[in-house]
Amino acid sequence: MIMQKYRLQALLTIKQRMKKKAEIALALAIKALLEAKKKLEKLEKEKEEIIEAWKLARKEMKSKVATGVMIGEGNVYVNYLRKLKEDEEKKEQEIEDQKGVVEEAETAVKAARKEYIEACKELRVMEKHKELWEKKIKAEISRKEEREMDELGNVIHQLRRMHGEKALGEV
């Protein structure tokens, strides 16, 4: 008996491709999320460095003012401190923007994960359908073979009855 071809094989192949595509999309979304978080950490570290520089410059200015050495350099320190504060505010804005990017990336990961899970379920359904189809075909083939064997047995039995054991041996 020749095994029949699964009529939904093309659909099964499409579901396999959809799963693979969803898997790749999920991996890319996770990678983008990790990169966004890494950039956020970098920005927060840069902000901390600016704050430390500001504290250090302020401490240095206070010590120079206290010792009276800062004659004529006051505006330079004030401008430097103002610039550091502006840098800190700018960095804070970058951090807030990056937090938005991280949230978007997390949303994209959730959506990609949902797509992947759905693609896996659809593929599993198709694979289960194919398995059941194959079992059904095998059962049909077995039934046909059993019927043929029964018919063959009946024919042999009838021949033996009609012609006796001797005639069967000659045939």
Non-local (6+) Cβ contacts of 65 within 8 A are: 74
- Number of domains composing the chain: 1
75: in domain? yes
Residue 119: CB atoms within 10 Å: 21
Separation between Cα atoms, residue 72 and residue 66, nearest integer Å: 14
The answer to whether position 45 is within a domain reads yes
Domain assignment present for residue 48? The answer is yes
User: 117 in helix, strand or coil?
Assistant: helix
Beta strands in 86-155 (DSSP E): none
C-alpha to C-alpha distance for 162 and 169, rounded to whole angstroms: 13
Q: Which two three-digit tokens encode residue 131?
A: 């398995």
Write the pLDDT tens digit of every residue in 123-153.
999 999 999 999 999 999 999 999 999 999 9
Mean model confidence pLDDT for the chain? 89
Q: What's the rounded Cα separation, in Å, for the pair 40 and 110?
A: 20
> Residue 103 maps to which CATH number?
1.10.287.1700
pLDDT in tens, 35-60: 999 999 999 999 999 999 999 988 88
Range of the domain at 47: 10-127
**Model confidence at 34, in pLDDT bands (50, 70, 90)?**
very high
pLDDT band at 104 (very low <50, low <70, confident <90, very high): very high
For the cut 80, the answer to whether the pLDDT of residue 69 exceeds it is no
